[in-house]
Amino acid sequence: MSVAPRKELGQHFLVDENILRVIARLAELEPDDVVLEVGPGLGVLTRFLAARVAHVHAVEVDRRLEEHLAGIRRTSLHWVDALALDVSALDPPPVKLVANLPYNVATPIVAESLELDQLGLWCVMVQREVADRFFAVPSTKAYGAVSVLVQLAAERTGFHPVSRDVFRPRPRVDSALVAFRRVASAASPDVKRTVEASFGHRRKTLANALALAGLASRERSVAALATIGRAPSVRAEALEPAEFVALAKALQ
C-alpha cells in the first residue's frame, strides 16, 4: 500500500474484500441506486459499489488517494470535507449512504445525514461502540443524544461485527456494520436542540441540564416534565425517543 493512513483523519483503509458481500446484503443494493460513500480510501468499496449500482458519489478529503480513486466508472469524486459538502446539490441525487466511515467523523456524519430526506437507507462501518450507540435503549450507558436522533428517524435493519483484520492499519478497537432504514423525517430543530441540551450534562437531572444549557429555566423545565408525566428528578437517559418530541413541544 503506497499511502500511509493518517491518524488525524481517522483513516483505516478497507483491504479485505470478503466483507463486501455482507455490505451488499445489508445495503440492499439495487442496479438503479445512487450511493453516497464517505471516506473511500483505496477504493475497494468504491469499485465494488460502482459495479453494482447506477452511480457512486465518493467524498474524500485526502488528495494523496487520487491515484487509487481516479477512473472508477460511474463514480464522481468530491474532494471536500464531507461535513462541508452540500449533498442536496449532488446530481444524480444519492438515496443511500454506504461507507467505511472515518472514525473521527462517523457520529457527526450520520447525525447530519439524517436531515437529508433523500437518503432512505444507511449501511455504515463504524467503531463497535458507535454502532451500539445508534440503537441503544434508554437507561443504558450507550444511550445518548445520537441514539435519540437516529431512532426518531430510522429503524435498524442489520448488524454485523467486523474483524479488525479487514483494515490497514489494524485498529485497536472493534468495528461493526450497522444498517438502518428511514421511517420518518429527521427531528425538528426544536427537538434536536432539546435532545442535545438534555444530554449536555447527563449526570444532572434533566431539568437542571436544560437550565444549564440555557434552553429553559429549571422551573419551566419541571413544568414541562410534569406535562409529559415525568418527575423533576428524572435524567435524560430515562426518556424514550418519542418523549423528547413531547418534551420539546411542552417547553414551547
User: In which band, very low, low, confident or very high, does the pLDDT at 163 lie, cut at 50, 70 and 90?
Assistant: confident
* Single residue among 161, 182, 203 that ends a domain in this structure: 182
pLDDT digits (tens, 9 = 90+) for 109-147: 999 999 999 999 999 999 999 999 999 999 999 999 999
User: In which band, very low, low, confident or very high, does the pLDDT at 10 lie, cut at 50, 70 and 90?
Assistant: very low
* Single residue among 135, 158, 182 that ends a domain in this structure: 182
Kindly state whether residue 102 falls inside one of the protein's structural domains.
yes
**How remote is the C-alpha of 71 from its chain's centroid?**
28
pLDDT digits (tens, 9 = 90+) for 88-107: 999 999 999 999 998 889 99
> Which pLDDT value is given to residue 49?
98
CATH number of the domain bearing residue 239? 1.10.8.100
> Which pLDDT value is given to residue 42?
87
* Single residue among 182, 204, 238 that ends a domain in this structure: 182
pLDDT tops 90 at residue 205: yes
CATH number of the domain bearing residue 86? 3.40.50.150
User: In which band, very low, low, confident or very high, does the pLDDT at 11 lie, cut at 50, 70 and 90?
Assistant: very low
Kindly state whether residue 2 falls inside one of the protein's structural domains.
no
pLDDT tops 60 at residue 46: yes
Residue 7's contacts (CB-CB under 8 Å, 6 or more residues apart) are none
Q: Which of 11, 106, 19 is nearest to 68 (CA)?
A: 11
Under DSSP, the state recorded for 181 is E
Distance from C-alpha of 198 to C-alpha of 207, rounded to nearest angstrom: 8
Number of domains composing the chain: 2
Question: How high is the mean pLDDT of the chain?
Answer: 92
pLDDT digits (tens, 9 = 90+) for 175-197: 899 999 999 999 999 999 999 99
pLDDT digits (tens, 9 = 90+) for 63-91: 988 999 999 999 999 999 999 999 999 99
pLDDT tops 90 at residue 5: no
Note down the domain range covering 239.
Answer: 189-251
Q: Are residues 113 and 197 in the same domain?
A: no
Q: Are residues 145 and 221 in the same domain?
A: no
C-alpha dist (Å) from residue 2 to 41, 66, 77, 212:
12, 12, 20, 49
Q: Are residues 228 and 158 in the same domain?
A: no
* Contact between residue 140 and residue 160 where contact means Cβ atoms under 8 Å apart: no
Q: Are residues 16 and 99 in the same domain?
A: yes
